[in-house]
Structure 1
Amino acid sequence: MAGKPSGRSPEPAKASRRGAFGRGFPSAAARSGRISGLDGLRTVAVAMVLVYHVEPGLLPGGSVAVDVFFTISGFVITRLLLAEYARTGGINLRSFYRRRWLRLVPALLAVCAACVALSLTTSLWAFENAWAAAVLAATFVVNIVRAGASGGYSDVTGPLAHTWSLSVEEQFYLLWPLALLFLLRRCRARTVLLCTAALCVLPVLWRFALWNPDAAHRIYNGTDTRADQLLAGALVAVVLARLRADDPRLEQLRRWAGRLACPALGLLLLTAWRVPVTSGSGVWTATWYTVGLLAVATVSATLVTGLELRPDARLSQALSLAPLAWVGRNLSYGIYLWHYPIVRLLASLGVTDGRLSTTIVLTTVMALLSYALIEMPFLRQGRRPRPSTARS
């Protein structure tokens, strides 16, 4: 009868529209959960950075852990963005930036405030003029200041010099979602993949164009010159989102990633142990600062792929052990934030005996306090439902 309600639920139509959004990325929505192995890898990486800053002789190449962090970040952020696009047909940029702010900035501001307080209330050399370093860190421009340094680094970034890597990541978080959304709206899925791969190559060419021994700081700290390490992780996320669960290419990738994950981790650990990647000015340094950074990104991306596709493998299970995964998930950011100011504090106090163990204890305590008192409250706020807004 005309005008009679059909009684048909609108849900199938909605589901159909959501499926259309994910066309070309059939696995995107399914690949958005946490990967315990990656959380454990974060613990290993932050431990390497801490040891490198306290006892560089033990791990002369420990800074390679920052390269691993870059690739993990590019992968995780991109898989979340693709999952949202597959579900909704858009990316809520306002919500994305809000979540990033709540996750990163409050804890960072607490570290900045502590450094400024020490500068104002003590005469410790490590915290002189820390207010300038705090301003640079809070505005995520430490990497830009360091990139412009000639000769040795100045002490203007002081106890917060390590936040250069956070600046690189934050600048990437600002630009990559915009670029990815543009590609998703304008291009076929295959073109998105090809463009991401092409973007991985551009920083290498740019590093070759820039390279000379005086440009080492510029290359090491620049977001444009380190973008391939973040984009390598993004490329892994795009590739995996493109492959259906029954795609034979996925099975091949799973098999080879499983075989290569352990050698990849071993190569990264060997580099940290034996290769002083940021010293010297010869052929080795030139190679490292041009193609070497992409090589590390490739190795890191191989490891990330193996942990994603082979959660049943021994390496994944080892890195997924509850203590490792919990620390990586909840404390790694706080450990990274606090370890370097504590290293500087102990150095300015003249502590030499037991410096590594003292740094580990104090850093862990501060990371736990940061997690319980700052990070978790803000993360809960970020999870609260908000009024729906138009998709960007």
Structure 2
Amino acid sequence: MAQEAGPATAEEPGVETRTAEPRGRARPAVPDGRGFPSAVARSGRVGGLDGLRTVAVALVLTYHVTPDLLPGGSVAVDLFFTLSGFVITRLLLAEYARSGGIALLPFYRRRWLRLVPALLALCAVCAILSTTTSLWGFDGSLRAAGLSALFLVNVVRAMEPGPYGDLMGPLAHTWSLGVEEQFYLLWPLVLLVLLRFARARAVLLWTAALCALPLLWRCALWNPDAAHRIYNGTDTRADQLLAGALVAVVLARLRADDPRLAVLRTWAGRLAWPALGALALVAWLMPVTADAGLLTAAWYTVGFLVVAVLSATLVAALELRPGGRMSRLLSLTPLVWVGRNLSYGIYLWHYPVVRLLASLGMTDGLLPATALLSVLMALLSYYAVEAPFLRRARRPVPGRV
């Protein structure tokens, strides 16, 4: 999902590149971080956020295996969206504070190296199983693999009438990667324009205003026949990513000694556990993708933004209160390691694994079997595919240091 960092794993902070300075010339001091005095200081990894990814991917896996147990488990994807928006925006702001610009091509290159090789490996396996076996869970995977590799699954699903069909087969879950990648394509461009032509305070206000637009758009679009369009559209889910971006902008704007930061830290700590409890209730009780009448209408319009606010509260609390109980719990070494290195692979592989085991007739013990096999495939993906490409992503781009 995602990580990242949707399900798509967030970009490593050590990956960003800096524009080379002429030799013999000292880098000029940057006053006030170009309006974002804390951007560089807040560009490192946060253990609690990595641990939160582990919890989120576990929820998604459980939801896809036993939806009756967690009818709203797909809310974890919404959480992934907010996490991704936060981390990506934080890195972009740090680069801007250091260099006065954002190198878009290196950014897109790093995103490609982080996400695409593992996805292509998954698509290849699904396509091979589709053409060489009679497993029903992989029927039509060749076409789905092509759409998934192009990050277009969400577009196809958005146009489906009636109940979801099996058009995307074992790759249906990659719709969320499509949303994230389309956001990654557009948001750095928008942010760069804002940074160049608006003051830092106006950048914050514009980001907040952009968060409201998807809500208004969903309200204009809503009718029961538009559910797929709203659920899968990047334009209709952008507020969940932008909520994370807004947190990153706010925190980058505030100095460490700013009294407003102390207020944010206090309230984030007070609201973090209620926010987590509310998300847990949604996962446990809310049939997110089912037709529940007025509740579904509320969910597909206002509900997405409510979840974004709850998720942003968690992100802010984990960022601002690393010594808090929630942060300490989510920063346990196994949770952090899995979230940092395996959450993307687990998200990629868990749904094909569910369909594989179901195609083989497994019913008893399906959840633990899926979890175990998904972790094994994620380990293989990480060490054989992702890690080598991550090392390439960390190499300086020619002409940069």
- TM-score interval w.r.t. the shorter chain? over 0.9
Equivalent of residue 350 in structure 2, options 339, 359, 380: 339
Shift of residue 153, structure 1, vs aligned partner = 1.5
Shift of residue 15, structure 1, vs aligned partner = 3.3
Give the residue type in structure 1 aligned to 2:28. A
Shift of residue 281, structure 1, vs aligned partner = 4.4
Report if the CA contact (8 A) 2:36-2:252 is conserved: yes
Deviation digits for residues 282-309 of structure 1, max 9, x if unmatched?
1100000000000000000000000000
Structure 2 equivalent of residue 261 of structure 1: 272
Residue 105 (structure 2) pairs with residue 94 (structure 1) = yes
SS at match of 2:168: helix
Q: How many residues align?
A: 378
Residue 283 (structure 2) pairs with residue 272 (structure 1) = yes
Structure 2 equivalent of residue 200 of structure 1: 211
How far apart are the structure 1 equivalents of 2:118 and 2:288?
Answer: 30
Shift of residue 386, structure 1, vs aligned partner = 2.0
Equivalent of residue 48 in structure 1, options 49, 52, 59: 59
- Bigger shift: 257-266 or 241-250? 257-266
Equivalent of residue 187 in structure 2, options 144, 166, 176: 176
Give the residue type in structure 2 aligned to 1:272. A
Give the residue type in structure 2 aligned to 1:181. L
Shift of residue 388, structure 1, vs aligned partner = 2.2
Report if the CA contact (8 A) 2:106-2:397 is conserved: no
Deviation digits for residues 213-250 of structure 1, max 9, x if unmatched?
00000000000000000000000000000001110000
1:220-235 equivalences in 2 (<5 Å): 220-235=231-246
Equivalent of residue 167 in structure 2, options 156, 173, 176: 156
How far apart are the structure 2 equivalents of 1:51 and 1:105?
Answer: 25
Residue 329 (structure 2) pairs with residue 318 (structure 1) = yes
Larger Rg belongs to:
1
Equivalent of residue 139 in structure 1, options 144, 150, 162: 150
Structure 2 equivalent of residue 289 of structure 1: 300
How far apart are the structure 1 equivalents of 2:275 and 2:163?
Answer: 32
Equivalent of residue 32 in structure 1, options 43, 52, 59: 43
How far apart are the structure 2 equivalents of 1:177 and 1:10?
Answer: 29
Report if the CA contact (8 A) 2:54-2:335 is conserved: yes
Structure 1 equivalent of residue 247 of structure 2: 236
Deviation digits for residues 165-218 of structure 1, max 9, x if unmatched?
000000000000000000000000011000000000000000000000000000
SS at match of 1:23: helix
SS at match of 2:49: helix
* Consecutive unaligned residues in structure 2, runs of 5 or more: 1-23
How far apart are the structure 2 equivalents of 1:48 and 1:153?
Answer: 21
Shift of residue 23, structure 1, vs aligned partner = 2.1
Report if the CA contact (8 A) 1:42-1:332 is conserved: yes
Report if the CA contact (8 A) 1:19-1:87 is conserved: no
Give the residue type in structure 2 aligned to 1:128. D
Q: Quick one: percent identity of the two aligned structures? A: 73
Which structure 1 residue ranges, 4+ long, deviate > 4 Å from structure 2?
none
Structure 2 equivalent of residue 247 of structure 1: 258
Structure 1 equivalent of residue 4 of structure 2: none
SS at match of 2:156: helix
Equivalent of residue 166 in structure 1, options 151, 174, 177: 177
- Bigger shift: 123-132 or 299-308? 123-132
Structure 2 equivalent of residue 358 of structure 1: 369
Report if the CA contact (8 A) 2:140-2:168 is conserved: no
How far apart are the structure 1 equivalents of 2:395 and 2:194?
Answer: 30
Deviation digits for residues 300-337 of structure 1, max 9, x if unmatched?
00000000000000100000000000000000000000
Structure 1 equivalent of residue 13 of structure 2: none
Give the residue type in structure 1 aligned to 2:266. R
Structure 2 equivalent of residue 105 of structure 1: 116
Equivalent of residue 380 in structure 2, options 336, 359, 369: 369
Structure 1 equivalent of residue 28 of structure 2: 15
